[in-house]
Amino acid sequence: MYQVKDLDWTDSYDTIVVGIGAADTIDEGLDALYNGRVKSLIQSADISTKTGELSIVPTFEGTVKRILFVGLGQRNENTTENVRNWFGKVAKEIKARAFTDVAIALETFESNGALFAEAYEMATYEHPTYKSAPKDSAAEVTITLLGNVDQTEVEKGAARGRGVNVARKLTMMPANILTAEALADYAVELAERHGFNHRIVEKEEMEGLGMGALLAVNQGSKLPPKLIVLEYNGAGEEAPIAVVGKGVTFDTGGYSIKPKDGIVGMKGDMGGAATVIGLFETLATTKPAVNVLGVIPATDNMISGDAFKPDDVITAMNGKTIEVLNTDAEGRLVLADAVTFAKTYDPQAIIDVATLTGGVLVALGTDVTGCLTNDDALYGALEEASRETNELVWQMPYFDVFINKVRKSEVADLNNSPGRFGHMIFGGAFVGEFVGDTPWLHLDIAGTSERPAANELGPKGPTGVMVRTLSTLLDGWNR
């Protein structure tokens, strides 16, 4: 789909995409396509140089049918994130107009092919539907990237975009279709397609391993849980980086039941699992020089005569006992056993990703992912990667005052819900009790896993957040 060529204004294309700033000197080759009239077209507002505005102007001469101009303003706004968004707008325009032969003059954006490919994949994605009349297929398009372009980097950019879309698709799927078993099947198919090692830990084996926290959450369900294990090997015998994703395929809240408005959308409570699977889709192409272990505890949280209850005391895989004060604080329970399982691989670091708490929404809104960590250097590397992808993160306090409240119980080692105030931090601090001294990042994506409206890089709904940031972090791993 993506071709690479040097820029030559005399080549034949249906459409060339060009960035143009307010103070730009007009390229002679470009100007020739309009008989030297580009400046006059700007003056007459047929071509806009305003930031992010698109103008489509047919040519008068040559072998190019039309040029899609993208306004770059004064070019001091030419940041990576702005260019990514401009590329997203271009991608949507290409799809909407069913253009099939498009060239991107990357030098005019002072940008690279990887960024365009990443943006194109994300911006043109549409969520799956289950309507009886399927939509017509989109027209096939050939994208030619003009300039000094590294084809390998282009493919990596596209892979990151595709990984985001895998996560979006999974998060959007209804819970009656994407059960724990179906999620496991999807992960196995992905692993076999890309040559990853994989393993599915079944309920009987979980019982033997003592995974009482995960099994407690599953008690109310008719469907068995699955512990999904994926392994990418890019560094021989080195210890892996473990990425653990919460895979609660539907969350009723259990006996601490959610209200009728809050329960809608709980098919997306496996957004952390989707991020892990999307990341592994990306790893197949980006091939970082690290080993990566993916662990996904998958179950739904249902209500029945067998469901776990407030006041129950359960025992996690590492032997710690937990007083259940809130059955809707189930994500930290499944993560507890998953993190303990990941530690059996002696990982360099553990990163858990979860739609864990409504508290992170109250604290940080829908644009920033909350983070807890026991390792400032590891957080610094994450923050640097997030600035590159513009998936914003913010470090929350991880003080003893929070940890001590998680440890407060008259009947058990821990409680799973110390209270309402600060509960985003309590959720992460609870998971931290199972991490030990392994370097650790906790990413609460409850606010960022879905967006309330479409933007330049995708539709309303699931975002696939953190796939690109974790991919970027792993690419630059140097611990």
Catalytic site residues?
A: 258, 332
Residue 2: alpha-carbon gap to chain centroid = 23
Question: Tokens 């700007």 belong to which residue?
Answer: 42
Map residue 297 onto helix, strand or coil. strand
Q: What does DSSP assign to residue 268?
A: G
Question: Tokens 């009790």 belong to which residue?
Answer: 433
* Parallel, antiparallel or unpaired: strands 2-5 and 247-251: unpaired
Output the DSSP codes for 49-97.
-STT-EEEEE-SSSSEEEEEEEE-TTSTT--HHHHHHHHHHHHHHHHHT
Gap between the terminal Cα atoms of the chain? 36
* Parallel, antiparallel or unpaired: strands 197-201 and 226-233: antiparallel
Question: Tokens 């990887």 belong to which residue?
Answer: 114
Asked if 310 contacts 326 with a C-beta cutoff of 8 angstroms, the reply is yes
Question: SS3 helix, strand, coil % of the chain, rounded to 5?
Answer: 35, 20, 40
Asked if 143 contacts 123 with a C-beta cutoff of 8 angstroms, the reply is no
Helical ranges in 196-343 per DSSP H: 203-209, 212-218, 260-263, 271-286, 331-343
Helical ranges in 302-437 per DSSP H: 331-343, 359-364, 376-389, 400-406, 423-432
CA distance 435 to 378: 15
CA distance 8 to 29: 8
Q: What are the residues whose beta carbons fall under 8 Å from the beta carbon of 451, sequence distance 6 or more? A: 366, 458, 460, 461, 463
Q: φ, ψ for residue 101 (rounded to 5)? A: -135, 95
Which H/E stretch holds residue 472? helix 467-475
Positive or negative CA dihedral for 324, 326, 330, 331?
negative
CA distance 238 to 217: 34
Map residue 270 onto helix, strand or coil. helix
